[in-house]
Amino acid sequence: MDGFDPTIGVILMAATNRPEILDPALLRAGRFDRHILVDRPDKKGRADILRIHSKGITIDKDVDLDTIAGMTPGFVGADLANLVNEAALLAVRHNKDKVEMAEFDEAVERIIAGLEKKNRLINDKERKIVAYHEVGHALVALSLPGTDPVRKISIIPRGVAALGYTLQVPTEDRFLMSKSELLNKIAVALGGRAAEEIRFQDVSTGAHNDLARATDIARSMVKEYGMSDKLGHIYFEKERQKPYLDMGLPPAKDYSEETAEVIDHEVKAILDAQYAVAKEILTKHHKVMDEGAALVLKEESIEGDRLKALLDDRQMA
């Protein structure tokens, strides 16, 4: 770095998790000109981290840390340390002298979906709505290619507000996604609301987070990935950041109001089309949807393979 005597042996280091907000002058040659990315660990890295953190506990010989690493894409070192600690605590609560795979599975669910809230009582009507909602997600995911495998479907409330959840766990780290895969993700996200409409001829507020996630994906497809047929292969820069002295003005856009209107139209078109895809799948497999919802209502949680078996049996019949 400029301004230091090269012979005095001083190394100046800095770290940030928001590189996009740094002044470019800070990063030019002669300043902080050597940049080292500390990224999230890949599958092998996660397995190595799990081995380090599991040295202090007794784990069953059947525990496969490589499998657990495959279940935790996106986890950082702190997440994995928390996972091992959570699994050990669960083993103690279950009066076991070893941590088994079941504890690791449950710990992964706790971290991804939140703590179970079995004391959160919901009435029978809402339980039925949640059951169909979650089975709707799962059934659409099982019917479309390129979606993450369905691991579990549950109507046990978890976390702050979730009344149920469908747990999908990727089998590998992904760095690229195709347009068809993104569209299928949107269809899966909208599958819960589609199931409610088909079964009850009405929709609930339970799809709030699903709608937000689906809209975010669709908007990114249009504005960032150039996946709009009408707008073509173009990137619309995100809204520029406000200056350091915020004058209360709305953020500036790099496109006209007319273009913003087209963007909104294209986003809505994508969402409408994928909602129709979800409804078509669930209407076609409405008997599987009914059987799956009944099973979830009876047992509260089922493995994704059981719903897949119901679907396969119906398709073979």
What angle in degrees, to the nearest 10, is found between the helix axes of 179-200 and 286-299? 80
- CB-based contact 304:148 (threshold 8 Å): no
How does DSSP classify residue 71? T
User: CB atoms < 10 A from the CB of 64, how many?
Assistant: 12
Tell me which of 86, 103, 109, 134 is the catalytic residue.
134
Active site (annotated) includes residue 134: yes
Burial call 224-254: b when 16+ CB within 10 Å, e when fewer: eeebbeebeeeebeeeeeeeeeeeeeeeeee
Tokens representing residue 166 in the block:
């469908």
Complete edge-to-edge strand list for the sheet that includes strand 150-154: 165-168, 150-154, 301-303
Q: Among all residues, which ones are annotated catalytic?
A: 134
